[in-house]
Structure 1
């Protein structure tokens, strides 16, 4: 049973670009499959000092300062950027990285960060409508042949005679470009969008039963449009808190303001053997990748322990 482990950070909680660079380089050296970061502008608890970093500015820098590790967003908020501009940004960063970028994109949900920085925050229905249009528009721009133009007439976005440039370095994604990640708990619309546009479907912080149910919904949505369900990678994001012994587990839990037993119940926590058991439980119901939410970005020994004691047991 092979499961790929990826590192997932939340820099809005307090991290500089240099902090993230150290995590990304360490993850690359240790053999993790990818470095991902959230797309948020406001801390969720705490003061977030020294302040937020921008997702695509960060990934552009990392594209030039790493060599092999894949890089991505979990999840870029559809409320933050015009999709035409986002398509250009991601394509450029993909070129800068030599084809190592992945676009995780979601509808956006955190109202306070929008009001804090003057970003419009439509109601849930409109946000989801905009999200669906962005998926179609961005992948449409990427997949348009060089020399052709692209038009889009949506309710929220309209493009006319776009040259659909630049092109990303990658063109092997399901929708014609870098891999696209879609995720969430929606029962109908989210699985349908994943089936239509995504290379990967991700579930954030979901228990085993919810994961099983949602993976099945995505499978059915693929079958409804005659897409092979196995062409969609299935993954989970889970908080990480692993220690060589119980004292180290508790120290790491305290560092991120969490309780050990709660982490054991909801995340990848405990000893390395406990972590392996937890990850295998998700793998048995279809998860092929686990994004390890690494909240203390200064604790690089945490990643070294996982690489040495957990990763080898997962194939």
Structure 2
């Protein structure tokens, strides 16, 4: 069972804060450090000290860590041209020695585009499909050959398709709740399917759709990793759970219902129920990035039980 730490730096975090969390992630035995790809806070937070760029952050962390995987949930397809994204991710993979993974989605948060002058096209899903074809196509083109693509939104001619990731091709994560096109894209391009902030029943339903799409594509359902992303709020007792919930502006009862919240025993039990639905990997959304004791508790009292 993989437990990964998942952060939301747009709510307010410096690179130094993210570095501290990533180093704790590694030293405490978690599988990976992931981050969102956003440029604007959400909700009432002031967002200070401001946003950090996802791939610049991961490139820096690639040189500061040794073992953990590094990646995004999810890189917004609206932020980067696909050829540039392929170069960026391949270089970060080289800098990490082959530890990078690319979670990618269509992009949805219009306000951050407006705030930073980023175009927000209407046909985002069609663009995402072409982006996936281009990024994976560039990586898979043999060295010495060129890559061409003539789509509706993007056109590449005689691309040298360089540089290459250390891994050959970087694992691709696709996720979401869409009933048709999302499973189809996952079946075509994904190494992992992730469903964020979903109930157990919604998880079962979406995993079933993806498995069916994968089989229709001629792939074995076991070729994909199936994962959940859920907010984490763990405490040794009810008072500690309530304190951690209040620190992130949430209600403890609501988090117990919709996240991985409560005592270590409660969280282990809930992870087990999601695992029965097919999940083998969990992204623990950590919203208070200064509370490294939270990570230590999860490592000692939750992860240790799952490793038995």
Is the structural similarity TM-score above 0.5?
A: yes
Structure 2 equivalent of residue 244 of structure 1: 236
- Relative to the length of structure 1, the TM-score reads 0.97
1:220 aligns with 2:212: yes
Q: Deviations over 1:239-295 (max 9, x none)?
A: 000001111111100000000000000000000000101111100000010000000
Match of 1:163 among 138, 160, 172: 160
Aligned residue number for residue 188 of structure 2: 196
- Measured against aligned partners, the alpha-carbon deviations of 1:110-136 in whole angstroms (never above 9, x if no partner) come to 01000000111112xx10011111011
C-alpha deviation, 1:98, in angstroms? 0.1
- 1:22 matched residue in structure 2: 20
Secondary structure of the structure 2 residue equivalent to 1:310: helix
CA distance in 2, matches of 1:143, 1:168: 10
User: Can you list the C-alpha shifts for 1:148-206, whole angstroms capped at 9, x where unaligned?
Assistant: 000001100000000000000002xxxxx011000001111110110110000000000
Q: d(CA) in 2 for partners of 1:121 and 1:162?
A: 26
**Mapped partners of 2:277, 2:153: distance in 1:** 38
Alignment of 1:245-264 (within 5 A): 245-264=237-256
Output the CA distance in 1 between the equivalents of 2:202 and 2:89.
31
Question: Distance between the aligned counterparts of 2:188 and 2:305, measured in 1?
Answer: 34
Runs of 5+ unmatched residues, structure 1: 172-176
Partners of 2:143 and 2:54 lie apart in 1 by: 28
Aligned: 1:134 with 2:134: no
Question: What residue in structure 2 maps to residue 184 of structure 1?
Answer: 176
Cα-to-partner distance string for 1:209-251 (whole Å, 9 max, x where unaligned): 1100100011100111110110100000000000011111111
Alignment correspondent of 2:287: 295
Aligned twin of 1:145: 142
RMSD: 0.5
Shift of 1:39: 0.1
Deviation digits for residues 64-122 of structure 1, max 9, x if unmatched? 00011100000000000000000000000000000000000000000100000011111
- C-alpha separation between the residues in 1 aligned to 2:241 and 2:10? 24
**Counterpart check, 1:73 vs 2:72:** yes
Q: Give distance in 2, aligned partners of 1:182 and 1:122.
A: 20
Corresponding residue number in structure 2 for 1:306: 298
TM-score (structure 2 length as normaliser):
0.99
Confirm whether residue 55 of structure 1 aligns to residue 47 of structure 2: no
